[in-house]
């Protein structure tokens, strides 16, 4: 019989007492600061019942709290009900940060415990700074693992090589670039534990984390040698020999912490405190001279080369075919057969699987009908799976992984007749999407300076949304990729809001959410491309990669400016010209009917 959340917390508190630990911190991360984690690492979900992709729990003997951001407020309120765990709404007024809460709650001499392999150095330092000379730390135990019976095992699925026709650059070329950066910083080695950085650098992919084609690994890059710590059976023998010929040596994943000090002893070592765990930093501090900053791979990975960009365009064409076929299917079947949020997502997945080089979803689908659409990162369960019928909106946020790239698209689909307010709100979100996509900006501008373009129409009507407007996207890698982004909150560090550069790919996803009613989000992916050079320098613009129509019947046409009408017409003509020839006849005819542009000419 499954334990309740309160029973699990009681067992954890017994372990805490035995270990002399007063507070236990549980983060979402695995050992690699991954946004999504394999089942083995889902300790926070196991202990609290909250299974959103972002959240941190703190368990004490007489209380418990969980911090998450605005995407998950409604979901967390529901899942934490009757657990005895307080919801801490990050960013809200008077809500303390984790480190401030600890500073005010723990007394001198008390012990904060956590699995040091899962807590980032950055978070550990924030806590230390707030709780200076007051509390002690224990980071060498995994108390959750000690009470989690039948815990899923670590996964080491087969690793495979990404061919040069997809990667665009050889791993030797990439390694040479990073070694030059090491030389510039006068370091002997760099330690990388973030899985997408390792996969990008070595042109390797895997399947150890759902939706992300990465593999569990650590990497030490030296001046003449690369040490790759991975599952002993994960790398096929032919690939292993190929890597060894390039002086990339395979080591056992489980031996990383034992070998790390001796491999870097006395050397100058570069590392990223945001992406390396407290356990890694502790090990390095005991053996080496440390130099820190953002991963040297971070920006090169974000700047897609021409091969990657061309492939991403192809991936989005494949994805558009699947999306348009699904939209026609939904439009012609709604109200005639039983369709639910989950079955609709599964049907879309079937269409995607018909495309070549498809490797699966890029994240768990978000399909929210009516009021579920107002839950920003809603994921339907067997219990919540709502049946669709001809009414209101279905918010559908999904994506695919292809050898040619990663996609992420949101369309809010009208399932029935809409009232005037619904059309007005849809149009406000659409205006934000169109206006941001139309931006032209000089070199040096960051996403934080462009965010207001997506929000202005909403702000003019007293609306807003509680999430960023755009995130970076990887190439057949993580659907959320830094350092680029488009958001309206000032970052803690300037490096968290870097200038946008050609080759970066970002999402454009304004939204509007009315709790208890419905949600609207319209998301395209865009690439930063060169625009023009003037006496004022280099200018850039966005190229929209996503080629899926908006809902013409949901638009309040009087609210669109002439420029916005022109942008919409041009976008839909692109879809007809580029995607139309790839569609079966019945889907093409449906698309032409949906995109009748006569209304635009009025």
Kindly tell me if the per-residue pLDDT of 444 is higher than 80: yes
Kindly tell me if the per-residue pLDDT of 597 is higher than 60: no
Helix or strand holding residue 410 (H, E): strand 409-414
Confidence at residue 305, expressed as pLDDT on a 0 to 100 scale: 98
Residues 12 and 106 in one domain: yes
Mean pLDDT value across residues 29-40: 93
Confidence at residue 497, expressed as pLDDT on a 0 to 100 scale: 85
Counted domains in the chain? 3
With tokens 């350092």, the residue in question is 483
Strands 217-222 and 481-486: unpaired
User: Taking Cα atoms as reference points, which of 21, 25, 105, 17 lies closest to residue 59?
Assistant: 25
How high is the mean pLDDT of the chain? 95
Residues 184 and 292 in one domain: yes
* pLDDT tens profile 63-103: 999 999 887 888 899 899 999 999 999 988 889 999 999 99
CB count in 10 Å sphere of residue 86: 12
* pLDDT tens profile 344-378: 999 999 999 999 999 999 999 999 999 999 999 88
Residues 204 and 335 in one domain: no
Residues 105 and 217 in one domain: no
Confidence at residue 91, expressed as pLDDT on a 0 to 100 scale: 86
Strands 405-406 and 366-369: unpaired
152: in domain: no
Kindly tell me if the per-residue pLDDT of 454 is higher than 80: yes
- For the entire predicted model, the pTM comes to 0.93
Mean pLDDT value across residues 16-36: 95
Residues 410 and 285 in one domain: no
Kindly tell me if the per-residue pLDDT of 393 is higher than 90: yes
Kindly tell me if the per-residue pLDDT of 600 is higher than 60: no
Residues 495 and 560 in one domain: yes
Residues 139 and 241 in one domain: no
- Where are the extended beta strands (E) located within 470-584? 470-472, 481-486, 505-508, 511-514, 518-521, 524-534, 537-544
Q: Which residues pair with 361 in a beta bridge?
A: 400
Judge contact between 394 and 415, C-beta under 8 A: yes
Helix (H, G, I), strand (E, B) or coil at 256: helix
Mean pLDDT value across residues 104-119: 94
Confidence at residue 304, expressed as pLDDT on a 0 to 100 scale: 98
DSSP letter (8 states) at residue 140: B
Band (pLDDT 50/70/90 cuts) for residue 38 is: very high
488: in domain: yes
Residues 457 and 582 in one domain: yes
Confidence at residue 599, expressed as pLDDT on a 0 to 100 scale: 53
Residues 197 and 78 in one domain: no
Residues 141 and 203 in one domain: no
Confidence at residue 70, expressed as pLDDT on a 0 to 100 scale: 83
Provide φ and ψ at 554, rounded to 5°. -95, 0
Q: 240 versus 36: which is more confidently predicted?
A: 240
Kindly tell me if the per-residue pLDDT of 329 is higher than 80: yes
Residues 488 and 404 in one domain: yes
Domain boundary, last residue among 147, 169, 196? 147
Mean pLDDT value across residues 428-449: 98
Mean pLDDT value across residues 260-280: 97
Mean pLDDT value across residues 409-431: 98
In which domain, by residue range, is 138 found?
5-147
């Amino acid at each position: 019989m499954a334990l309740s959340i309160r029973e699990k917390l009681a067992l954890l508190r017994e372990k805490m007492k035995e270990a002399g630990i007063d507070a236990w911190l549980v983060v979402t991360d695995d050992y690699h600061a991954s946004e999504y984690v394999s089942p083995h690492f889902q300790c926070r979900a196991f202990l609290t019942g909250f299974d959103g992709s972002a959240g941190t729990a703190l368990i004490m003997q007489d209380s418990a709290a969980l911090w998450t951001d605005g995407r998950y407020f409604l979901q967390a309120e529901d899942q934490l009900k009757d657990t005895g765990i307080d919801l801490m709404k990050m960013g809200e007024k008077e809500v303390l940060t984790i480190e401030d809460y600890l500073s005010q709650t723990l007394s001198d001499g008390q012990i904060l415990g956590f699995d040091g392999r899962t807590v980032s150095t950055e978070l550990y330092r924030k806590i230390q700074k707030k709780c200076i000379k007051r509390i002690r730390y224990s980071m060498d135990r995994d108390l959750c693992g000690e009470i989690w019976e039948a815990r899923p095992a670590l996964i080491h699925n087969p690793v495979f090589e990404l061919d040069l026709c997809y990667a665009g650059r050889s791993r030797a070329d990439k390694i040479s670039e990073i070694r030059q950066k090491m030389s510039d910083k006068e370091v002997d080695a760099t330690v990388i534990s973030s899985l997408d950085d390792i996969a990008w650098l070595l042109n390797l992919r895997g399947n150890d984390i759902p939706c992300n084609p990465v593999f569990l690994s650590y990497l030490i890059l030296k001046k003449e040698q690369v040490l790759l710590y991975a599952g002993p059976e994960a790398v096929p023998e032919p690939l292993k020999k190929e890597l060894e010929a390039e002086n990339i040596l395979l080591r056992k994943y489980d031996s990383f912490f034992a070998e790390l000090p001796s491999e870097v002893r006395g050397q100058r070592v570069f590392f990223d405190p945001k992406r390396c765990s407290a356990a890694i930093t502790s090990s390095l501090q005991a053996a080496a001279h440390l130099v820190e900053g953002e991963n040297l791979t971070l920006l090169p990975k974000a700047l897609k080369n021409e091969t990657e960009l061309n492939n991403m365009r192809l991936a989005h064409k494949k994805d558009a075919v699947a999306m348009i076929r699904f939209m026609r299917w939904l439009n012609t079947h709604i109200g005639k057969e039983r369709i639910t949020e989950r079955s609709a997502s599964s049907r879309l997945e079937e269409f995607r699987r018909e495309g070549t080089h498809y490797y699966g979803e890029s994240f768990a689908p978000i399909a929210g009908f009516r009021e579920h659409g107002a839950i920003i990162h809603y994921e339907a369960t067997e219990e919540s799976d709502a049946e669709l019928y001809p009414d209101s909106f279905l918010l559908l946020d999904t994506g695919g992984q292809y050898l040619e790239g990663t996609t992420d698209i949101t369309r809010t689909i009208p399932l029935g007749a809409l009232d005037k307010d619904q059309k007005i709100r849809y149009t406000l979100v659409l205006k934000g999407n169109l206006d941001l996509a139309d931006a032209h900006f000089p070199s040096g501008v960051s996403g934080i300076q462009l965010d207001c373009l997506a929000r202005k129409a909403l702000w003019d009507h007293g609306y807003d949304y509680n999430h960023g407007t755009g995130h970076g996207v990887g190439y057949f890698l993580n659907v959320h990729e830094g350092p680029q982004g488009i958001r309206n909150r000032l970052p803690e560090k300037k490096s968290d809001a870097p200038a946008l550069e050609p080759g970066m790919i970002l999402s454009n996803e304004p939204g509007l959410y009315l709790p208890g009613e419905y949600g609207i989000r319209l998301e395209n992916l865009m690439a930063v491309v060169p625009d023009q050079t003037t006496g004022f320098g280099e200018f850039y613009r966005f190229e929209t990669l996503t080629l899926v129509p908006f809902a013409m019947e949901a638009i309040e046409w009087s609210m669109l400016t002439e420029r916005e009408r022109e942008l919409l017409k041009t976008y839909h003509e692109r879809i007809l010209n580029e995607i139309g020839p790839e569609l079966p006849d019945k889907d093409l005819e449906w698309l032409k009917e949906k995109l009748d542009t006569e209304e635009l000419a009025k």
